[in-house]
Structure 1
Amino acid sequence: MRRTNLFSLLISVAMALLIMLAGPAALAANTSLPPLPIEEMGRVEQLPASYPEDWVIVDESSFFNMFGGKIIILDIAEKTHAKRMKGMMSKSMLGNFTQSKKRGEFYIIESFNERGARGKKFDVLVIYDKQTLNIKKEIIWPTDRLQSLPERYSMAVSKDEKLLYVSNFNPAASFTVVNLDTQEIVETIGTPGCVLTYPAGERSVVSICSNGGLLSTVLDKKGKLKSRQRMDSFFDTDKTPVYEWPIFVAGKGYFPSFHGEMHVIDFSGDVVKYIEKWSLVTEQERAENWRPGGMALTDRDDEGHLYIIMHPDGHEGSQTHGGPQVWVFDVEKQKRLRIIEVPNWAVSLAVTRGKNPKLVITNGELNLDIFNAKNGNFIQTVSDFNNVTPLLIHKSY
C-alpha cells in the first residue's frame, strides 16, 4: 500500500513537470490566442509649480489615531473620485503645517517616540518640495514644539520668505526662527505668557497673550531678537474672549470675539497697534444670541471679504460647536454682504483663491461640502479621501 502511494505520487509530480515544461512551447505554437495587454508599471509624476485655484490642502489631524495624521492635497472641483487626491504627506502626533507662496516648499513639524508609542519623544521639522513631495531637509528640533489641534499660525513664513517661525510650548512659550536659505536654526526666542506666530511688518512675529494683549517680537536681518514690545489688553479673557484665528486684509488683523464683536489690529508695521472694534450682529441678532462658532471658523477670499461660521442660541461653551450659516462681510465697510445656508452644519471652513472662489465646509459628518462662495449654491460633497477629522483646510498656492 505504501509502495503504491509512493508510486502514484511520483507519477503525479512527473506529469506536473511535463506540463510545466511543455506549457510555454504549446502556448507559443498557438497563434490564435490574443496577446496579453501591456502591463502599466508605477509612474512618478510632478505636481505643478503653482497649484490650481480649486486645489486645497487638508490638514488631517487623525485625532483618534494621532500617529496617522496626514496633509492631503485635494482637487475639490473634480467630480471623479479617483482623480481628486493629488498627493499626501505624513504628519505624526498632531503635527503642524504651513507653506510658502514663492519658494515651492511645505513645512511640517511632527513628533515621534523612539519605540512607537513609548520611549523618548523627539520633534522633527521636515521641509518638502511641493512639486515632487520629496523631503529636502529634516531638522531635529531643539525643544518641544507646540502640540495642539491644527492652528493656522502655529507656524508662519516671513514676508520675504527668508525665515520660518515655529511655535514652541514646553510649557514655557517661545518660537524658533529657521533660515530657509541655509535650512538652519537661527535662534529660539522666549515669549512669556504669549503663543502663536502671526507675521507682521517685514520681520516681526506677533503672539497673543494670556492677559488679552499682543506681544510684538522684532527681528534683525539675520532673524535674531532685536526688540520686544507688548500691546495693552484689548479684550477680557474671562468676560469677552476672542478666537486666536485672525484674518488678515490689507495689513489689518481681524479677531472675532466669542460674542460677535470684531477687533481690528494694525499689522502693517513691526509693532502692532489697536485700531477699533465693531459688531458682527445687529441688536435683534444679539437678542437671539447669534454668535461665531467652530474650529477653523474664518477665512477670506481674494477680494478681502471675510467668511465666518455663525450659530443662534449661543451660550457658554458653544463657541466650538460650529453653526448652520456662514456670514460674509466686507470688513472695510463693516457690512454684511450675504448669508450662506449650510444644511449639513459647518465645523470649519476655507475659501479658495481666484475670481470664482469655492467655499469649503467641514460638515457635521466630517466630510467636505463645496459651495459657490459668491452665490452660496451647493456644488458637491467630497468624502472618502482618508478623512477622519479634517478640522483645518488651507487654500493652495
Structure 2
Amino acid sequence: MLADRRSRAARRIARSLLAATVLTAISTYKPALAAEPILQTEESDVVTLPAGGPHRVLVEDGVYRHSKDGRVYVVDLDTGRLLGMVQAAYNANVVADPAGKAFYVAETTWERGNRGKRHDILAAYDPRTLEMVADIDLPGRALITPKKPDMAIGADGHYVYVYDSSPTNAVHVYDTALKSVVRTVDVPGCGLIYPWGNAGFSSICGDGSLANVQMDAKGKPTLTRTPPFFVPDRDPVFEHSPDVRANGHVWFISYSGLIYETTLGTQSSVAKPWSIQEAAGLKRASDARAPFEVTWRPGGWQLAALRARDSHLFVLMHKGTFWTHKEAGSELWELDLKTHRLVRRVPLAAPSMMVGVTQDAQSRIMLTDEAGDLVVLDGADGKPVRKIGALGDALIFTAAPGE
C-alpha cells in the first residue's frame, strides 16, 4: 500500500514537471513571421479586342427576371468565348454598323431606379474596346418587349432609326455623322422599321399595308402607302420577319406559314405568297378561320433568319394550332427562297425561341434554350458545333456581321 501511494505521488510530480516545461516552451516560442507584402498600386486599363470576323456576333439578353438589367454580349462563335458585355437597360435594342465601325444600343432608364425622370438613350460603342463613343438623349422610344425591327440602321450606316409610339407612331432619325437626332417622321397607324437603301424605311400598318418613307439629301421625308397585302385579323405577319437592308428585300412570314417576298421602296411591291408547309410536301396550314387545325407552324421570338448569299431561310417550326405563334420551335426548317423548296429539317435537342445565322461561306446557326445556352450549329449540314452554356437569362435576338 505504501509503495502504491509513493508511485501515485511520483506520477503527479512528473505530470506537473511536464506541464511546467510545456508552458515555458510556449511562452518563450517566437514563430518566424512572413515578410509584410508590399502593396502594389492598382492600374486600370482597356483591353482592345483584335479585329472581328464573321463569327463575332452580338447577342441581346432581355434578362426577363429583372429586365432593367438587360445586356448585349459580344461572342466569338469559333472559340465559344464571351469577349465582353455592355449594359442594355430596360427593353433595349441593338444594331451594328454595316462597316463594323460601331454598334448602337437604344435603352431606357429612370433617375430613381424604378421612378423619377425617364431617359431614353441611344449609346454608341466601339466594337473593339467596348468604350462608349456617343451618348445621345432620344425624344422617346417604344417601351415594348424588345423587337429587332424597333430599331434599324441604313445600308451605309449614316442613319439609325428608332421607333416610338408616344404620343403617336413615329420614327426618330439619328445622324451618325452629326451625332444627333435630325428628324422625327410620323407614320400614323404604322409601326416598326424595315430599312432599305441609305435613306429609306418601311413600316407595317394596322390595315395590312406598308408605309414607305424616303428622305432626300436634306433629310426631308416623303411618305407613300401600299395597298393592304395581308388581313391582320385573319393571318397577320410576324414582326421579326427577316430583311436585307442593302437591297430592301424582306420576307414577311405569316402566322399560318405564308411567305410574302417584298421589295421595299417608295412603291413597295409584294409578290404572291407561297406556303412553307407546301414547300415541305405538306398541306397548306389553316389561318384564323380554322384555328384548331394542328399542323407544323412557324413560331418563336426571333423565329427566322436569312442567309443572303444563297437565299436560304431558316425558320423555327412546331406542331400546334393557329394561335400558337409564340411557341418555341422543336425543328429548324431550311428553305430555298429561289425554288420555294425545303432543303432540310433539323430536329432540335431543345426547343428554341431564337435563330440567327452568320453570312459567310462557313456559316454558323445560333439557337438558344430555356437555360440561356447559345447553341451553335454548322450552317452547311445543321450538325452541332458547340454549346456556350448559360450565356444569359433570356437570349432574344442576334446581330451578325453583314446582315
Instruction: Determine if the TM-score, normalized by the shorter chain, exceeds 0.5.
Output: yes
Pick the aligned partner of 1:348 from 337, 346, 354.
354
Q: 1:43, CA displacement in angstroms?
A: 5.0
Q: How does 1:53-132 map to 2 (within 5 A)?
A: 53-78=54-79, 84-102=81-99, 104-132=101-129
Quick check: 1:218–1:271 contact (8 Å CA) kept in 2? no
Q: Distance in 1 between matches of 2:283 and 2:77?
A: 33
CA-to-partner distance for each residue in 1:196-219, whole Å, 9 max, x for gaps? 111124421100111111100111
SS in 2 for 1:109: strand
Q: Distance in 2 between matches of 1:258 and 1:132?
A: 41
Q: Distance in 2 between matches of 1:284 and 1:329?
A: 14
Between the aligned residues of both structures, percent identity stands at 26
User: Could you say which residue in structure 1 is the equivalent of 2:291?
Assistant: none
Pick the aligned partner of 1:48 from 43, 47, 50.
50
Q: Distance in 1 between matches of 2:57 and 2:100?
A: 18
Taking structure 1 as reference, are residues 23 and 247 closer, same or farther at Cα in structure 2, changes over 3 Å only?
closer
Taking structure 1 as reference, are residues 160 and 381 closer, same or farther at Cα in structure 2, changes over 3 Å only?
closer
User: Could you say which residue in structure 1 is the equivalent of 2:290?
Assistant: none
Q: Distance in 2 between matches of 1:378 and 1:221?
A: 47
Structure with the greater alpha carbon radius of gyration: 2
Q: Distance in 2 between matches of 1:216 and 1:70?
A: 32
SS in 1 for 2:282: helix
User: Could you say which residue in structure 1 is the equivalent of 2:4?
Assistant: none
CA-to-partner distance for each residue in 1:8-52, whole Å, 9 max, x for gaps? xxxxxxx9xx999x965xx99xxxxxxx9x999765221234x22
User: Could you say which residue in structure 2 is the equivalent of 1:243?
Assistant: 238
SS in 2 for 1:153: helix
Q: Distance in 1 between matches of 2:45 and 2:390?
A: 23
CA-to-partner distance for each residue in 1:133-184, whole Å, 9 max, x for gaps? 1111111112x20122222221111222211111111141100111111111
SS in 2 for 1:131: coil
CA-to-partner distance for each residue in 1:275-307, whole Å, 9 max, x for gaps? 221111126354651110110011122322110
User: Could you say which residue in structure 1 is the equivalent of 2:395?
Assistant: 390
Quick check: 2:124–2:134 contact (8 Å CA) kept in 1? yes
User: Could you say which residue in structure 2 is the equivalent of 1:310?
Assistant: 317
Quick check: 2:60–2:397 contact (8 Å CA) kept in 1? yes
Q: How many residues align?
A: 360
User: Could you say which residue in structure 2 is the equivalent of 1:180?
Assistant: 176
Q: 1:346, CA displacement in angstroms?
A: 1.6
Q: 1:258, CA displacement in angstroms?
A: 0.6
SS in 1 for 2:262: strand
Q: 1:111, CA displacement in angstroms?
A: 0.8
User: Could you say which residue in structure 2 is the equivalent of 1:299?
Assistant: 305
SS in 1 for 2:325: helix
User: Could you say which residue in structure 1 is the equivalent of 2:133?
Assistant: 136
SS in 2 for 1:318: coil
Q: Distance in 1 between matches of 2:34 and 2:300?
A: 66
Q: Distance in 1 between matches of 2:343 and 2:397?
A: 24
SS in 1 for 2:72: strand
CA-to-partner distance for each residue in 1:68-99, whole Å, 9 max, x for gaps? 100000122325xxxx1111110111111111
User: Could you say which residue in structure 1 is the equivalent of 2:17?
Assistant: none
Quick check: 1:265–1:273 contact (8 Å CA) kept in 2? yes
Give the letter for the 2:233 counterpart.
Answer: D
Q: Distance in 2 between matches of 1:23 and 1:343?
A: 56
Q: Which runs of 5+ in 1 are unaligned?
A: 1-14, 29-35
User: Could you say which residue in structure 2 is the equivalent of 1:5?
Assistant: none
Tell me if 1:331 matches 2:351.
no
Give the letter for the 2:273 counterpart.
Answer: K
Give the letter for the 1:92 counterpart.
Answer: A
Quick check: 1:108–1:125 contact (8 Å CA) kept in 2? yes
Q: Distance in 1 between matches of 2:127 and 2:348?
A: 32
Tell me if 1:273 matches 2:269.
yes
Tell me if 1:255 matches 2:252.
yes
User: Could you say which residue in structure 2 is the equivalent of 1:146?
Assistant: 142
User: Could you say which residue in structure 1 is the equivalent of 2:188?
Assistant: 192
Give the letter for the 2:127 counterpart.
Answer: K
Q: Distance in 2 between matches of 1:371 and 1:39?
A: 45
Q: Distance in 1 between matches of 2:134 and 2:217?
A: 23
Give the letter for the 1:64 counterpart.
Answer: R
CA-to-partner distance for each residue in 1:370-397, whole Å, 9 max, x for gaps? 2112112122221233x01011122136
User: Could you say which residue in structure 1 is the equivalent of 2:381?
Assistant: 375
Taking structure 1 as reference, are residues 23 and 91 closer, same or farther at Cα in structure 2, changes over 3 Å only?
closer
Q: Distance in 1 between matches of 2:93 and 2:125?
A: 13
Give the letter for the 1:264 counterpart.
Answer: E
Pick the aligned partner of 1:166 from 162, 169, 188.
162
User: Could you say which residue in structure 2 is the equivalent of 1:321?
Assistant: 327
